[in-house]
Structure 1
Amino acid sequence: MQRRKQILHFDDINHSHEIMGFSGRTDLPDFHVYTLEETYPSTRQVMPPYTLRFYCLLLLEENSQDAVIELNTERLAGPSNTISFQSPGHVSAWIRGEAQKGFLLYFQPEFLSQYVVSLLEDFPFFRPTELHILPLTSTEKATLRDHFLRLERTFKNKQHPYRVPMLQGLLLTLLFDCKGLYESYCTRQAHSSIHPSLAAQFLQALEQHYLTQRTVQAYADLLHVTPNHLSHAISNEIGRKAYDLIVDRVLLEAKKLLYYTDLSVGEIANYLGFEEATHFTRLFKRKLALTPLEYRHHATKQHT
């Protein structure tokens, strides 16, 4: 895929369908679910980088080896038997294969606004800093497929008087089932969970303030705890230092801007809140062993 000068952004579900070439439309402004098979043959084969204001779930039962999915700066080829999660802030791009089967689901945050849930806190797979593609066993895939089938049937039953609240309830059930799968997967990967609430609050605060706050002290103040207590909680639950997560979030944004845009290093440094571009370059090279321009050249060459 060629690097584009700008990243497309979609606030509206039907508008994203229009640009992607998908002929389907939703009558509900905040929700849509459909099968990948429905996207043929109208949907464009190559989609340049884009972000969404809304959330997306993709259950990929079968994939083509010629298909490619990019999430942020990670390229994935042929990820059959997976479910992936995209939230506002993720950058996606794809090359569509000819044998993909599964389901796509979009929903705006407002669709679940009447429920006492925090999408980023309650469902960690939506956080840009977390794992957002889960491999599935055959049993897990069958369970999720049943969820998507019920959602699809309910969505198409436009005459049902309780269609929307039923969709909301079914969506929440799906999300909590995905949360269970996510936690099970993390447990199998030997992650611990000692202070989940504080760690979740930290990651949520990081998403809101990473452009302006760069110290553990600043986030400890926001969360009304001591820096040592915050660092201990993050280290025990996530297995990494809080400061490293802060830096990694800044560098993730930097990598997206370097790969997906033509902004200069100085412009990117300014956007990320660095007083001097040299400070940004020094940090980037120390963490990634490449200068920003070297990373741009390497990433573009590798993904072309």
Structure 2
Amino acid sequence: MQELIFEDHYKKLGLEMFSDENLETINGNKFKYDIKILFVTQGYELSVDFNHYKISTPSLFFLTSQHLKIEKGKETSTLLYYNRDFYCIQIHDKEVACDGLLFHNVFEIPFVELTETETSVIRGLFQNIKDELQWKDSSAEEMIRTYVKQMIIRATRNWKKQHLNNDAVKIPGSELDIFRDFSRYLEIHFKEKHNVADYAELLHIFPKTLTHKFKNLNLDSPNQFIINRILLEAKRLLFYTDKHVKEIAYDLGYEDPAYFNRLFTNKTGSTPSNFKKNYSSGKKYNI
């Protein structure tokens, strides 16, 4: 396995090439706290949280705190990982920063499918980053950041085409900021803010206005998105940690564990304890 890394004070970015021969490194905890851009080719199968993906088209996955497990794959693929100090400071444009459409969105779609042309371009950008990491020139940091931003911009354009301009969801450009900001605030505050009114206040609009915006676009209600995010975190804690249900309830901002237990059971059809014992697989997607 080949590893290339840039580190300077608090800033870090690395590149790893992998195949079925070294999946255990990618699947471990080494990159748990990094922002990740994962490029996989056809033939790969992987799980992100509780969803399973079978790849038939080269794709990019954009991940932060999700649990990633690559189950199989042949052709060499690439993992780019970095921290917020390297790329995500406030001066970056919010659409292409780490809290934009790709990394945290209310639709929970963390991937972009690539055309043959886009695949070639993305491969070229990864190669440019690899070259800079090998050369270790004094200007390498800025060059690498430029390539990362190009990758994110291209992927964001494709993500919008694939997921916001179809028969199921059509979001006008003027409305994108609301959904992007709602996603960002939800990711930051879901453990302590459980009501639509909390997020409407952060967005400087009325709760009814926020709810109507979602309804007019045939989306689930903001309240449902809030609940979904809480339940996702609950499932992560149940499945990947040894925490007790009561402790998880407190972690997620519920002072009454019995209420949390009822909410989880009502929304998932399983008690938290049964989920922890009996969970087998989530949704399956072919992409």
Q: If the TM-score is normalised by the length of the shorter chain, which range does it land in?
A: 0.7 to 0.9
Report the CA distance between 1:178 and its aligned residue: 0.5
Could you say which residue in structure 1 is the equivalent of 2:14?
32
* Structure-1 separation of matches of 2:252 and 2:116: 42
Distance 1:45 1:218 in 2: 40
Picking from 77, 80, 101, the partner of 1:105 is: 80
The percentage of counterpart residues that share the same residue type is 22
Conserved 8 A contact 2:48-2:67: yes
* Structure 2 unaligned residues grouped into runs of 5+: 283-287
Who is 2:285 aligned against? none
Q: Take 2:236 and 2:196, find their aligned partners in 1: how far apart are those partners? A: 24
- Once residues 167 and 125 of structure 2 are traced to their aligned partners in structure 1, the CA distance between those partners, rounded to angstroms, is 26
- Partner of 1:56, secondary structure, is strand
Is 1:291 aligned with 2:267?
no
Distance apart, 1:50 and its partner CA: 7.2
Amino acid at match of 1:240: D
Name the counterpart of 1:177: 154
The alpha-carbon distance between structure 1 residues 52 and 117, as it changes in their structure 2 partners (threshold 3 A), is: farther
Matched residue of 2:102: which SS? helix
Q: Of 28, 34, 49, which aligns to 1:72?
A: 49
Once the two structures are TM-superposed, the CA of residue 252 in structure 1 deviates from its matched residue by 0.5
Paired letter, 2:181? Q
SS in 2 for 1:134: strand
The answer to whether the aligner puts 1:251 opposite 2:231 as a matched pair is yes
Q: What residue is the counterpart of 1:6 in the other structure?
A: none
| 2:27–2:70 Cα contact (<8 Å) kept | yes
Deviation at 1:78, TM superposition (A): 4.9
CA displacement at 1:79 relative to structure 2: 5.7
Matched ranges for 1:180-219 at <5 A? 180-186=157-163, 187-188=165-166, 190-194=168-172, 195-219=175-199
User: What's the CA shift for 1:76?
Assistant: 3.0
Secondary structure of 1:103 counterpart: strand
State the distance in 1 between where 2:90 and 2:231 align.
35
Alignment CA distance shift 1:162-1:224 (3 Å): same
**Distance (Å, rounded) in 2 between the aligned partners of 1:201 and 1:177:** 20
Q: Which residue of 1 aligns with 2:111?
A: 133
Cα deviation, residue 179, structure 1: 0.3
Q: Counting helix residues as a fraction of each chain, which structure ranks higher?
A: 1
TM-score, with normalisation over the residues of structure 2?
A: 0.83
- After superposition, what is the alpha-carbon deviation per residue over 1:155-175, rounded to whole angstroms, capped at 9, x for unaligned? 22223x422211111111111
Whether the 8 Å CA contact 2:3–2:17 is kept in 1: the answer is: no
- Looking at structure 1, the residues matched to 25 and 141 of structure 2 have their Cα atoms a distance apart, in angstroms, of 32
Q: Which residue is 1:165 aligned to?
A: 142
Q: CA deviation at 1:207?
A: 1.1
CA distance in 2, matches of 1:237, 1:253: 26
Contact 1:50 / 1:93 at 8 angstroms: preserved in 2?
no
Q: Is the 8 A contact 1:266 1:277 kept in 2?
A: yes
Q: Name the CA shift for 1:101/1:174 in 2 (closer, same or farther; >3 Å).
A: same
Residue 126 of structure 1 aligns to a residue whose secondary structure is: coil
Distance 2:48 2:105 in 1: 10
Residue type of the alignment partner of 1:149:
Q
Contact 1:56–1:104 (Cα < 8 Å) also in 2: yes
CA distance in 2, matches of 1:248, 1:50: 27
Corresponding residue for residue 93 of structure 1? 69
RMSD: 2.7
Matched pairs, number: 272
Cα distance in 2 between the residues matched to 1:114 and 1:165: 16
Q: 1:238 to 1:209 in 2, by over 3 A?
A: farther
Q: Deviations over 1:14-37 (max 9, x none)?
A: xxxxxxxx6634243511224325
SS of residue matched to 2:47: strand
Residue identity in the other structure for 2:76? K
Which amino acid in 2 is paired with 1:26?
I
Q: Which runs of 5+ in 1 are unaligned?
A: 1-21
The TM-score normalised by the length of structure 1 is 0.79
- Report the equivalent of 1:10: none
Q: For 1:72 and 1:43, locate their aligned partners in 2 and report how far apart those are by CA, in whole Å.
A: 17
1:141-166 superposed Cα distances (whole Å, 9 cap, x missing partner): 2232222222222322223x422211
| Matches of 2:90 and 2:249, distance apart in 1 | 39
